[in-house]
Structure 1
Amino acid sequence: MIERFRRIVSGQRMLALYDQAVVSGSNFLTMILIARQLRAEDFGMFSLAMMSMLFLGNLHRAIFTQPMNILGAGDAPSVFAGRFLALLKVHRFAIPIATAILAVISQIFFPETSLLVAVAIYVACYFLQEMLRRYWYTLRETDKALRNDLISYAGQVVIILLVGSFLPLDSTLAFSIMAFTSLFAFLAGLAQLRLPPSVERYHSWQVLVQQWTLAKWLILTVLAVWGAGQVYPFLIAPLGPLVVASFSACRNLLNALGIVIQSIGNYLPTHAAVLLQHGGKAALGQHICKTFIAVTALALAFLFVTQMYAEELLHLVFGGTYDSAAPLLKILAWGAVSTLFASALGSYSLAMGDSRSGFLANLAASAFTFTGGFFLIQTQGVTGAAIATTFSLATAMLIQGALVAIRYRRITERGTASA
């Protein structure tokens, strides 16, 4: 019994959950610590810079790491190592291109040279570390990825906490600390990287062309997801950094739910696919019901706390700086719950072999963002932005749900016909 328990807690699936908890939990704590230590105006600028970095990170994942994970899973070790090295070499061009994009965004949203330099360095270090951790994920060496993320993500929490205790923290210093821990993790990872004795040689362009079939759809999905909700801090930037800071503080607090959302996205698709394959449509239907009972219970508890104690939560987490943002938090909480349901729905969609529904749902939500969302921001200001964010995310959830229902019904019809 003890040996079985040890195998379970040290298995690849559990290690992946530990790793996700480290990454999501550390990022959540990092944003909270920075929000507490920066002045509201500075935190507004920091938030726009961080959102810019996250956008580039999502594009990097779509172009490089996700296709590498999918295609590399079927490669022989020597072939996959060649793919990895070829993609790593592409970063000689990818990092300058990302820096140029970042410079354009900076001129519009955070025109401060020192901040731009710090963010650009962090982007470069993040790209390199992300390549290495995804390499280990593909090889199912999750323990190495976990150790690397403890250095980078948990490390940034510790250093920001320590530095903030002795020095006044600003946006540039915060990004510099994150860049340092990410670079240190990458260098530490290189030291333990062991490639196969023989490695296939590939031209970088050859690998990019091979991955483009997947990457182009992933890029479109990233753009649709950002249009569905992530873009709102940029849309309210003309209202001033104080407004952006209050809006971002609420979103960062609600990201506590993101750990659950990420865990669902990592675990549920594979588990549901296996269940469908071996247990059939009836078993999948029962699992869907059980999952949504649990998700509904969590959503109701989350909404109760955020609606009843919004001001108290903001005061506890941010030390009184953003207490006045309680009405925004109450509105945005409904959007966070929509994302929770959408994550579960999207996981079942993938399990049933449908990878397009997430894109279509977020595309519809993006259409609302740039029509109804613009109108609400123009007429209602930051409150309109909170309402629009929630409507956008709810739109994505509802359309995703409809598409999942259609997909499930078709599976049922095929099963009945074959019977």
Structure 2
Amino acid sequence: MLFLNQIIKKIPSHWVALADQVLVSGVNFVIGVILARTFGVEVFGVYIIATTFLFYANTFQSSLVISPMMTAIPHETDETKRQELLSGFFGYALILIMLSVVGIAIVTYLLGVMVASLHLGANAGPLLLAIIGFQLQDWLRRALYALHQTGRVFLLDLLAYGGQLASLAILYYKNALTPSSALLSMAVVFFLSALLIITIQNIVPSFKQALLVIKTHWRGSRDFFVAWQLQWAGSQGLALFGGGVLGPQIVGALRASINLVAPVNVLFQWMENVIPVRAVTHLKKGGLPEMYHFLSRLAWIGGVLFGVVVVGLYFFAEPLLGLIYGDTYRPYALFVFLQAVYIWLSHFYRLEFFACRATHRTADIARASLIMALVAIGTGVLGVYLIGGSAVILALILGQSVSHLYLFYRRNIYKKTISL
């Protein structure tokens, strides 16, 4: 590991960050293929329903801890204060991890009783452990990005995602791969890899500093929290509703379609980890004009790249589904094309979000998320009964588009206010 760390230090940080996202997205893609082909569309849907609750639990940490941390730590130039901030955010993260585990335990129990088709009961224990491991690892990787420790991020993800892939391969060859065993392997590998890097990095949580962090960043965290909850309700929550109405196979097919375009998601994840910090840097250096010039360049480059993917998947979605997942997935080719369109539009939407985060316009983020959720849920719930699973993705596209128009409107108002 020390030898690998020395090699990584010699590589420019932006290339290491991109390599890390290739690693994470590539492994997730392979894992998705293994699980989808092994389980079949319906059991794969059961697994995805369980992980939906995992990602929901992570919305608490992502909004309340990670979002303010990704701007607060880069803004702080004093090393001692920066370490205090890091310890505070770590303590805050641990508190939320425990609270989210308790909350998800209650929710999964109630839904497992009320909606038996979701099959939550058998996977509840491994799911709760996976929530702990996943959130700990996710907080650590974002904290390391905020500290510009991209080499350590790569090592962390190599251990976590590489270990997860290896453990699933072992379970597969032992004919012991089930939704429960897959979740349990994630829990163990993610927790151990995070614990190792935390020890090496010597990061110690401080609950005293956590209280100060909460007090200082509560207002922005509150707006991020509302935004993340609304975004989840208008996306994952809507997919979960579709699964409850149409069956787990729809959730499995939706996830397979997302996984097929997941390699493109490498750029999204890289952007999420790097662009907010870079946007703040450009804002401090040259004000709003330089920051928006930087984001505009990214918009054009990404728009062309994602546009090529959309066109390609229009023609090749069905044969790719059959080749990668099997013939049972071929009827869901439309899902893949619609997911590609959604991702293309999401590229521009995320850049606008990063601008809001850099300028601390968290209230605009919350309102935009409310608009997206209301439009997506309102059209999606009705659409599921009328046209089936494709309504989920179409509702996401419509909700995001309307929300983006609102952010354009708010951006112009903000610029006029600053110029006065």
Q: TM-score, normalised by structure 1?
A: 0.84
CA RMSD, 1 decimal? 3.2
Deviation at 1:260, TM superposition (A): 1.4
Q: How does 1:176-325 map to 2 (within 5 A)?
A: 176-194=184-202, 202=208, 208-237=214-243, 238-279=245-286, 283=290, 286-325=293-332
In 1, distance between residues paired with 2:272 and 2:202? 30
> What letter corresponds to residue 365 of structure 2 in structure 1?
G
Q: How far apart are 1:13 and its partner, in Å? A: 4.2
CA gap of 1:356–1:317, structure 2 versus 1, over 3 A, is farther
Q: Which amino acid aligns with 2:19?
A: Y
- The alignment status of 1:383 with 2:377, answered yes or no, reads no
Match for 1:367 among 371, 374, 394? 374
For 1:308 and 1:118, locate their aligned partners in 2 and report how far apart those are by CA, in whole Å: 39
Deviations, residues 244-285 of structure 1 (Å, cap 9, x unaligned): 222221122233332212223333344344445545666556
Q: CA deviation at 1:377?
A: 1.5
Q: Counterpart of 1:264 in structure 2: which amino acid? A: M
- Verify the 8 A CA contact 2:220 2:362 in the aligned structure 1: no
Rounded Cα–Cα distance in structure 2 between residues aligned with 1:284 and 1:72: 19
Please list every run of 5 or more consecutive structure 2 residues that lacks an aligned counterpart in the other structure: 1-6
Partner of 2:157: 149
2:27 aligned partner: 26
Deviation of 1:69 after TM superposition, in Å, equals 5.0
Structure 2 counterpart of 1:159, one-letter code: S
Partner residue, 2:3:
none
For each residue in 1:161-212, what CA deviation from the matched residue of structure 2 results, as whole angstroms up to 9, or x when unmatched?
A: 343244252211211121121122133234424258xx97728656544543
Q: 1: distance between equivalents of 2:188 and 2:51?
A: 16
Of 80, 84, 103, the residue aligned with 1:79 is: 84
**CA deviation after TM superposition for structure 1 residue 147, in Å:** 1.2
- Cα distance in 2 between the residues matched to 1:371 and 1:348: 28
Residues 396 and 52 of structure 1: is their aligned pair in 2 closer, same or farther, counting only changes over 3 Å?
Answer: same
CA distance in 2, matches of 1:82, 1:285: 32
Q: In the alignment, is the contact (CA less than 8 A) between 2:43 and 2:248 conserved in 1?
A: yes
Matched, 1:357 2:360: no
TM-superposed deviation, 1:57 = 1.1
Larger deviation, residues 169-178 vs 351-360 = 351-360
Identity of aligned residues (%): 18
Partner of 1:100: 106
**Counterpart selection for 1:163 from 160, 168, 171:** 171
Q: CA distance change for structure 1 residues 31 and 396 in 2, over 3 Å: closer, same or farther?
A: farther
Instruction: For residue 10 of structure 1, give the secondary structure of its aligned residue in structure 2.
Output: coil
CA contact (8 A) 2:48 2:255 kept: yes
Contact 2:156/2:193, CA 8 A, preserved across alignment: yes
The separation in 1 between residues aligned to 2:374 and 2:93, in whole angstroms, is 36
Q: CA deviation at 1:55?
A: 0.7
- Residues 311-340 of structure 1 deviation map (CA, whole Å, 9 limit, x = unaligned): 012122213231110122223322222112
* CA contact 1:228–1:396 (8 Å) conserved in 2: no
Structure 1 residues 373, 169: closer, same or farther in 2, change over 3 A? same
1:90-129 pair list within 5 angstroms: 90=95, 91=97, 93-107=99-113, 108=115, 110-129=118-137
Task: Output the amino acid matched with 1:189.
Answer: I
1-structure distance, mates of 2:342, 2:62: 24
Q: Distance in 1 between matches of 2:301 and 2:281?
A: 20
Kept in 2: contact 1:99–1:120 (CA 8 A): yes
TM-score by length of 2: 0.83
| Residue of structure 2 in register with 1:56 after alignment | 57
Q: Which moved more, 1:117-126 or 1:277-286?
A: 277-286
Structure 1, unaligned runs of 5 or more = 1-5
- Does the 8 A contact of 1:62 with 1:219 survive in 2? yes
Question: How far has the Cα of 1:53 moved from its partner?
Answer: 0.6
Are 1:119 and 1:175, in contact at CA under 8 Å, matched by a contact in 2? yes
In 2, distance between residues paired with 1:188 and 1:282?
42
State the shift of 1:119 in Å: 0.8
Query: For residues 263 and 222 of structure 1, what CA distance do their matches in structure 2 show?
Result: 19
For residue 174 of structure 1, the aligned residue among 166, 179, 182 is 182
Partner-residue secondary structure (3-state), 1:321 = helix
Structure 1 residues 331 and 143 mapped into 2: Cα distance closer, same or farther (>3 Å)?
Answer: closer
CA distance in 2, matches of 1:128, 1:92: 11
Counterpart-to-counterpart distance in 2, 1:200 and 1:180? 24
Q: Counterparts of 1:391 and 1:17 in 2: how far apart (Å)? A: 30
